[in-house]
Amino acid sequence: MHLVIFDIDGTLTQTNHVDTCCYIQAVKDVLGLDEVETDWTSYRHATDAGIAAELVDRANCGAPADALLAQLHDRFITLITAALNRDASLCQQTPGAMAMLERLIARDDVVAALATGGWRASAELKLRRSGLDVFDLPLATSDDDVSREAIMRIARERAAARHQDDSFDVQIYVGDGVWDARSARALGLGFIGVAEGEQAHRLLAEGARAVVKDYTDLEGFLRTVQSAGRHPTN
The contacts of residue 152 (CB under 8 Å, 6+ apart) are: 5, 115, 140, 173, 183, 184, 187, 189
How many binding residues for Mg ion (CB under 5 A)? 5
| Nearest in space to 205 (alpha carbons), one of 175, 182, 225, 188 | 182
Is 177 or 190 the residue whose CB approaches Mg ion more closely?
177
Q: Nearest approach, Cβ of 79 to Mg ion (angstroms)?
A: 19
Exactly one of 3, 9, 15, 130 binds Mg ion (CB under 5 A); that residue is 9
Exactly one of 7, 19, 145, 149 binds Mg ion (CB under 5 A); that residue is 7
| Nearest in space to 46 (alpha carbons), one of 188, 149, 153, 156 | 149
Q: Which of positions 147-176 make contact with Mg ion (CB under 5 A)? A: 176
Q: Nearest approach, Cβ of 194 to Mg ion (angstroms)?
A: 8
| Eight-class DSSP state of 94 | P
Residue 10 binding Mg ion, by CB under 5 A: yes
Classify burial at 29, counting beta carbons within 10 Å of its beta carbon; exposed 0-12, middle 13-18, buried 19 or more. middle
**Interaction mask 67-106, Mg ion, x per CB under 5 A:** ----------------------------------------
Residues pairing with 222 in the sheet: none
Is 7 or 48 the residue whose CB approaches Mg ion more closely?
7
